[in-house]
A and B are shown apart, each in its own frame.
Chain A
Amino acid sequence: MNISLFNQMIKLNMKNFLIFGFGSALYVVLMTSLYPMFAENAEAINELIKIIPETLKNALGFDSLTSYGGFISAEYFGLFFPIILGVFSVMTATQLLAHLVDKGSMAYLLSTKVSRTQIAFTQALVLISGLLFIVLLTFLGGIVAGEMLIDDQTSLEFNTFFHICLVGFLLFFVVGGYSFLVSSLCNDEKKSLGIAAALTFIFYGLDMAGKISSDFEWLRNITPFSLYNPSGIASGDAEIFIPSFILLGIGFFNYSAAVVVFKLRNLPL
């Protein structure tokens, strides 16, 4: 990796890191602050939830809304968190390679003794740092808000919350990974953005479809999103170690492939 490039890239992307990071943290705080009101009317809400078909409840993770853990994992970690992090991953991955190749600025970065491998590796680190930063802010936001706004009895354990964030991070480590691979393959920025976004949308959709109908349950085997189950982690039902390990593996594979592709291909600079 090249430290000058890393520092400058972090600096250039810091605005996005902060916007997405604080956005996500703020959302957690907001949702957390809604929970006490929610808990007071738990009965009425449970009645309401009964009306929702079972399958849809599964898809949205509404099966355990009565606890704070169930609430926050359904309302935030199952819904907005993937959207925020998905947008960030796809956008930033495109920005870090395809954009520079498309615009031609990569010619400057590749005019020194710094190798293509080092450049791709550095850019991957920038993306991963960004993801880590955003998830960290989300985690801190959730912990602080939970501490201040939620009764100790219903609050989520520190470890459980940490696990949700960890697996969440690893999922977007993977999303960032394939987006980065797409970005390293594309000469055209818009194409890179389009393909990565479409892939993410499809993977997310496959997970949803698999949850809604048991006929399509097999679909969940081909999407990384099924390895991330915040409601399951909150209720203590979900396995953490194996999915994390698989996500980590897929992620590493994607970033490595991206570096190799970037090293070997012709660049239109």
Chain B
Amino acid sequence: MIQIQGLTQQFSNGRGIFDVTFEVEKGEVFGFLGPNGAGKSTTIRHLMGYMKPQKGTAIIHGFNTWEQQEKAREKVGYLPGEISFLDGMNGLEFINLMAGMQGLKDKKRRNELIERLQLEPKTPFRKMSKGMKQKVGIVVTFMHNPEIYILDEPTSGLDPLMQKVFIDLVLEEKAKGKTFIMSSHSFAEIERTCDRAAIIKDGRIVTVKNINDLQYMQRKIYDITLENKNDVEKIKESNLIIENTNDNVVRIVVQGDYNELIEELSKFNVINISIISQSLEDIFMNYYDTKVAVK
């Protein structure tokens, strides 16, 4: 459905994307992970035909995304990463404009989406919060029933409840056999929906893997609070990777094997477990660092 082959675009400041290659199959939800500035949006912009690749090609549905950009876009629903609407319009006017440009006549799906997202469409853009604007963007992206969805950081600005609505929407469309490519800087955001994901760093694809493999690879950090201070010393003697201890709180790093942690902890009286939120680099730190050494 989507083929990206050797895509390269270097900007004057030396950054850019280099030899980006991956494929997305029909019916697949593909995550595109990377820290900010890694080249996710640049890759997506090539898919939308906003830039001419210096090298390589991007193909959607058999159409080259630069040379035949309007054909490549025809069956695409695109949600840009940066929300910027036309000034002086309200949500409904914008939705109608986009429907007109998409050649959409049927308003049923549109109204259904507006209701589900609890959007008040007649609000002028200047009075909308970021989340509301994002909802308008989501309506526009989904209303014409596209075959392929290209979503750049789709859940940014949405509250947890709306994130759930959005994820349901994605899963429904996935069940209908639609194809997705979704960028994000947070693994937690895409692991609920994606089948596979690519990780991009400094403009280069680091890996393309199944979500299960990535989940196994990720490194999680837990703060375990033990009731008995003496247990801290005992736990230190185990095979667990202990980053540090602070009073009766032990910070433990886990990658892949959770059984060992559970087994070890069952010996003690645990009064609290909390997970430490980490950046994408930290989650896959092992992978980034050891990739060269291991292979």
Contact = CB atoms under 8 A, between A and B. Distances in A.
Given A4-B97, A12-B88, A111 B80 contact: yes
Interface string A80-123: 00000000000000000000100111011111111110000000
Nearest to A95: B87
Contact of A112 (B85, B89, B96, B98): B98
A3 interface: yes
B208 interface: no
Interface of B: 45, 48-52, 69-71, 73-74, 76-78, 80, 82, 84-89, 93-94, 96-103, 140
Contacts, number: 83
Nearest to B136: A108
Given A5-B97, A113-B102, A108 B71 contact: no
A267 interface: yes
Contacts of B78: 107, 111
Interface of A: 2-5, 7-8, 11-12, 100, 103-105, 107-116, 266-269
Among the interface residues A4, A5, A111, A116, which one has the most CB atoms of the partner chain B within 10 A?
A111
Given A103-B84, A113-B102, A266 B51 contact: yes
A12 B86 contact: yes
A115 B84 contact: no
28 contacts: A2-B101, A3-B100, A4-B97, A4-B101, A5-B101, A8-B89, A8-B93, A8-B96, A11-B93, A12-B87, A103-B84, A104-B80, A104-B82, A105-B85, A107-B78, A108-B80, A108-B85, A110-B73, A111-B48, A111-B80, A112-B98, A112-B103, A113-B102, A113-B103, A115-B70, A267-B51, A268-B50, A269-B80
B93 A112 contact: no
Contacts of B89: 8, 12
A105 B86 contact: yes
Contacts of A5: 97, 100-101
A205 B73 CA distance: 46
A113 B73 CA distance: 6
Given A12-B88, A108-B140, A112-B73, A4 B100 contact: yes
Contacts of B93: 8, 11
A55 to B, nearest CB: 46
B102 A112 contact: yes
Contacts of A267: 50-51
Contact of B50 (A2, A7, A11, A266): A266
A114 B98 CA distance: 10
A5 B93 CA distance: 11
Interface pairs A-B: 6 shortest CB-CB: A4-B100, A104-B84, A115-B70, A111-B78, A113-B74, A107-B80
A113 B144 CA distance: 12
Contacts of A103: 84
A105 B84 contact: yes
Nearest to B75: A113
Contacts of A8: 86, 89, 93, 96-97, 100
A2 B70 CA distance: 13
Among the interface residues A107, A112, A266, A269, which one has the most CB atoms of the partner chain B within 10 A?
A112
A112 B101 contact: yes
B86 A269 contact: no
Nearest to B54: A266
Contacts of B140: 108
B70 A107 contact: no
A116 B70 CA distance: 8
B265 to A, nearest CB: 49
Nearest to A268: B50
Contacts of B52: 266
B100 A111 contact: no
Nearest to B76: A111
Contacts of B49: 110
Contacts of A100: 86
Nearest to B78: A111
B124 to A, nearest CB: 12
A112 B94 CA distance: 14
A110 B88 contact: no
Contacts of A7: 100
Given A104-B82, A115-B70, 13 more contacts: A2-B100, A5-B101, A12-B88, A107-B80, A107-B84, A110-B49, A112-B74, A113-B73, A113-B102, A114-B101, A115-B69, A266-B52, A268-B50
Nearest to A113: B74
A103 B88 CA distance: 14
